[in-house]
Amino acid sequence: MTDTLDFYFDFSSPYGYFASTAIEQLAADIRRTVRWRPILLGPMFKAMGSGPLVEIPLKGAYARHDIARSARLFGIPYREPAVFPIAAVAASRAALLLQEDDPQQAAEFIKRVYRAYFAEGRDITDMDVLVAAADQAGADGSRLPAGVATDRIKSRLKEEVDAAMARGVFGSPYMIVDGEPFWGFDRFEHIRKWAASAS
């Protein structure tokens, strides 16, 4: 069994989406297995006295431009969602629920939900969209509506976010490898350099 690369992401994060398209290749390159960890940025923004990137004066307009350009330069399908950002609570709970049964199906679900939101113009706060993504990932989507509404799964997501913040996680995507933290899709090359210099 190989060591893991913890991959923290918020479903409402475009750079998290970009990272989701390349994280498995990165992990393979440095001989790690991806551990997909959905989080919510809301509580983190609160701790930092910050807010969603695209809503910050000056920086927000640049961010929208940089997001679309990054997608183009890296050849990643992207269309800015009609409603953005969103609180992706249901999708995150669904991912945790699916992971309990089959981490591989859950990973496929996560990638499909990201793509639905950032490339296909779908509304991922809509439970039907999540159910379809789960079915396409080979899981039983019909479990989701009741499953994400349980106190147990609600608590689990809250605990995941608290535990992430206790480890210093404050953004998306955020990767931790052997205790070493990396923030941002633009740190993928740093991870490769770091792994090469550490080995």
Residues 130-149 that bind its own copies (CB under 8 A): none
Residue (of 74, 86, 79) closest to 13 by Cα position? 86
Nearer to its own copies, 4 or 50 (CB): 50
- Helix H or strand E encompassing 110: helix 103-118
Burial label for 14, CB within 10 Å (0-12, 13-18, 19+), is buried
Q: Least distance to its own copies from the beta carbon of 103, Å?
A: 27
Residues 6 or more apart in contact with residue 138 via CB below 8 angstroms: 102, 105, 108
**Contact between 163 and its own copies per CB under 8 A:** no
Counting contacts by CB under 8 A, is residue 68 touching its own copies? no
Roughly how many angstroms between the first and final C-alpha of the chain, as a whole number? Answer: 18
CB of 144 to its own copies, least distance (A): 31
Tokens for 64?
């929208």
Phi-psi category of residue 48: left, alpha or beta, with phi > 0 → left and psi -120 to 50 → alpha: alpha
Contact (CB, 8 A) for 130 and 94 = yes
Residues of span 8-67 touching its own copies by CB under 8 A: 44, 47-50, 56-59, 61-62, 65-66
Q: Which of 152, 179, 189, 199 binds its own copies (CB under 8 A)?
A: 189
- Please list the residues that pair with 175 across neighbouring strands: 7, 182
Q: Measured between alpha carbons, how far is 96 from 38 in angstroms, rounded to an integer? A: 7
* Residues from 164 through 183 that contact its own copies (CB under 8 A): 165, 168-171, 181-183
The tokens of 37 are what?
């960890």
Site for its own copies contains 158 (CB under 8 A): no
Q: Is 13 a catalytic residue?
A: yes
Q: Pick the catalytic residue from 13, 20, 92, 172.
A: 13
Q: Which is nearer to its own copies, 197 or 199 (CB)?
A: 197
Q: How far is the CB of 23 from its own copies (least distance, A)?
A: 17
Give the residue, chosen from 31, 69, 79, 158, that forms a contact with its own copies under the rule CB under 8 A.
Answer: 69
| Contact residues: its own copies, CB under 8 A | 44, 47-50, 56-59, 61-62, 65-66, 69-70, 72-73, 165, 168-171, 181-184, 186-187, 189-190, 193-194, 197
Q: Supply the residues annotated as catalytic.
A: 13
